[in-house]
Structure 1
Amino acid sequence: MALIRLDVVGSGPREIPISYVLNGGYAGRDTAQVQHHVDELAELGVPAPTTIPTLYPLSATQATQAGSTQVQHGRTSGEAEWALIVGDGPDDLLVTAACDHTDRDLEVHSVAWSKQAGPDILGDVAWRLSDVEDALDGFSLRAWVTHDGAETLIQDGSPSQLLPPRYWADRLDEAGLLRPGTVVMSGTIPMVPGVDQFADGWRVELADGEGNVSRVAYEVEMLPAAWE
Structure 2
Amino acid sequence: MFPLRFDVNGETVEVPVTTVLNGGYAGRSQEDVAAHVAELAELGVPAPTRTPCLYPVAPYLAMQTEQVPVQHDRTSGEAEWALVVAGPEERDVLLTVACDHTDRALEVHGVAWSKQAGPDVLGGRAWRLVDVADRVDELTLTAWAGGRQIQRGTLAELLPPQYWLDELRQRGLLRPGTVLLSGTIPMDAEVDQFADSWRVELGDPQTGDTLSCEYRLDRMPEPVA
Match of 2:166 among 165, 170, 181: 170
In 2, Cα distance between the equivalents of 1:13 and 1:206? 19
In 1, Cα distance between the equivalents of 2:204 and 2:8? 13
The aligned counterpart of 1:113 is 113
In 2, Cα distance between the equivalents of 1:190 and 1:142? 11
What residue identity is the alignment partner of 2:136? L
The aligned counterpart of 1:48 is 47
Q: Residues 90 and 180 of structure 1 are in contact (CA less than 8 Å); yes or no, is this contact kept in structure 2?
A: no
Q: Which blocks of at least 5 consecutive residues in structure 1 are unaligned?
A: none
1:183 equivalenced with 2:179 (yes/no): yes
The aligned counterpart of 2:194 is 198
Structure 1 residue runs of 4 or more that deviate by more than 4 Å after TM superposition: none
What percent identity do the matched residue pairs reach?
57
In 2, Cα distance between the equivalents of 1:110 and 1:143? 25
Spell out, residue by residue over 1:17-58, the C-alpha distance to the aligned partner (whole angstroms, 9 max, x if none). Answer: 111000000000011110111011100100000110000001
Q: Residues 90 and 179 of structure 1 are in contact (CA less than 8 Å); yes or no, is this contact kept in structure 2?
A: no
Q: Which moved more, 1:33-42 or 1:208-217?
A: 208-217
What residue identity is the alignment partner of 2:216? E
Residues 26-41 of structure 1: matches in 2 within 5 Å? 26-41=25-40
Match of 1:215 among 189, 207, 212: 212
Measured after TM superposition, the shift of residue 226 of structure 1 is 1.1
TM-score by length of 1: 0.95
Measured after TM superposition, the shift of residue 134 of structure 1 is 1.6
Residues 119-198 of structure 1: matches in 2 within 5 Å? 119-146=119-146, 151-198=147-194
What residue identity is the alignment partner of 1:177? L
In 2, Cα distance between the equivalents of 1:143 and 1:38? 22
Measured after TM superposition, the shift of residue 12 of structure 1 is 2.3
Q: Which blocks of at least 5 consecutive residues in structure 2 are unaligned?
A: none
In 1, Cα distance between the equivalents of 2:111 and 2:189? 22
Give the SS at the match of 1:169: helix
What residue identity is the alignment partner of 1:2? F
Q: Residues 8 and 126 of structure 1 are in contact (CA less than 8 Å); yes or no, is this contact kept in structure 2?
A: yes
Q: Which moved more, 1:195-204 or 1:129-138?
A: 129-138
1:80 equivalenced with 2:79 (yes/no): yes
- Paired residues, what number? 223
In 1, Cα distance between the equivalents of 2:2 and 2:38? 36
TM-score by length of 2: 0.97
In 2, Cα distance between the equivalents of 1:134 and 1:161? 16
What residue identity is the alignment partner of 2:59? A
Q: Residues 102 and 114 of structure 1 are in contact (CA less than 8 Å); yes or no, is this contact kept in structure 2?
A: yes
What residue identity is the alignment partner of 1:37? H
The aligned counterpart of 1:18 is 17
Spell out, residue by residue over 1:71-114, the C-alpha distance to the aligned partner (whole angstroms, 9 max, x if none). Answer: 11100000000000101125221100000000001000010000
Give the SS at the match of 2:192: coil
